[in-house]
Amino acid sequence: MLLMATAMAMGAIPAAAVDGFSATNSRRLEALMASGPGLAVFDADGTLWSDDAGEGFYGWLVEQRRLKGVDYSHDPVAEYFAVEAKDQPLAYGMAVTQMAGLSEDAVKRWAASYFRVAFAKRVHQPQKNLIAALRAHGWDVWIVSASNRWIIQAGAPYVGVDPSHVVGIDLVVRDGVLTDRLAYPVTWGPGKAEAIARLIARRPDLATGDSRGDLEMLMSARGLALLVAHPEKASQKQMRTLARRRGWLVQQMP
């Protein structure tokens, strides 16, 4: 108590644990935050909330027959997953370019409604706590995702991030209508690191992700990298092994 009182009298603010993280991870995160404001970048799906909002929203667009250039005599969702099994970035880009011809205002409304109903309760509270702590320390916080920009912007306020601080797969928009032209390369793997360099123009001090698509972003972090662990996913085994080898933080979300 005497040490705390002395620190407060000297103007120092004692660090508080980041609720929901292990004691070790919390201490390392606190030390990084206390070192001064920096840039933090977060993946979205599987990292900030459970499951994939981008794939979910795509499925909803198909179910509601909103997509204009899709052949509904086949199963567009099944075709998407068939492509994803062979080439993830190709599938992610395909799902977004199929939104061509839609009004951007309509997509924003649909995304906001879909996320509120289907994903608002899937947010990882510890990540929301971490973002709040980072922002309280003056950090610049961004979300960089391989889902379409509109669904991630819809989810950003639920974790305390400004929608203007979202980078996702994006399309060129003309006269308020989505075209089939990607605004920049798909934000997966190397594309995530490239998008950060191009659109944020700073190297992150903290990067958080959960999958192979986040690897280059995690490796670019100057301070700490945090892997959100999914022990039930065999596909994440190599990422967990790499995280331990590199000394990244590994945290399973409740």
pLDDT at 1: 35
Q: How confident is the model at residue 188 (pLDDT cuts 50, 70, 90)?
A: very high
pLDDT at 69: 85
Residue 52 has pLDDT above 70, yes or no: yes
Residue 4 has pLDDT above 60, yes or no: no
Contacts of 190 (CB under 8 A, 6+ apart): 216
> Which tokens hold the place of 74?
């086949």
Q: How confident is the model at residue 253 (pLDDT cuts 50, 70, 90)?
A: very high
Domain 19-252 = CATH 3.20.20.100: no
Residue 13: C-alpha distances to residues 16, 30, 71, 121, 236 (Å)? 9, 12, 59, 32, 38
Mean pLDDT (whole number) for 53-76: 96
Average pLDDT, the chain: 93
- Residues 253 and 221: their CA atoms lie apart, in Å, by 21
Query: Over the stretch 140-154, which tens digit does the pLDDT of each residue have?
Result: 999 999 999 999 999
Mean pLDDT (whole number) for 76-98: 97
Domain boundaries, the chain: 19-252
pLDDT at 16: 53
Contact assessment for residue 166 and residue 156, using Cβ atoms and an 8 Å cutoff: yes
Residue 5 has pLDDT above 90, yes or no: no
Contact assessment for residue 115 and residue 153, using Cβ atoms and an 8 Å cutoff: no
Contact assessment for residue 93 and residue 186, using Cβ atoms and an 8 Å cutoff: yes
Query: Over the stretch 99-158, which tens digit does the pLDDT of each residue have?
Result: 999 999 999 999 999 999 999 999 999 999 999 999 999 999 999 999 999 999 999 999
Residue 60 has pLDDT above 80, yes or no: yes
- Residues 146 and 45: their CA atoms lie apart, in Å, by 8
40 phi/psi in degrees, rounded to 5: -115, 135
pLDDT at 22: 96
Percent of the chain whose pLDDT exceeds 70: 94
pLDDT at 87: 98
pLDDT at 170: 98
- Residues 43 and 167: their CA atoms lie apart, in Å, by 10
pLDDT at 17: 73
Burial of 151 (0-12, 13-18, 19+ CB in 10 A): buried
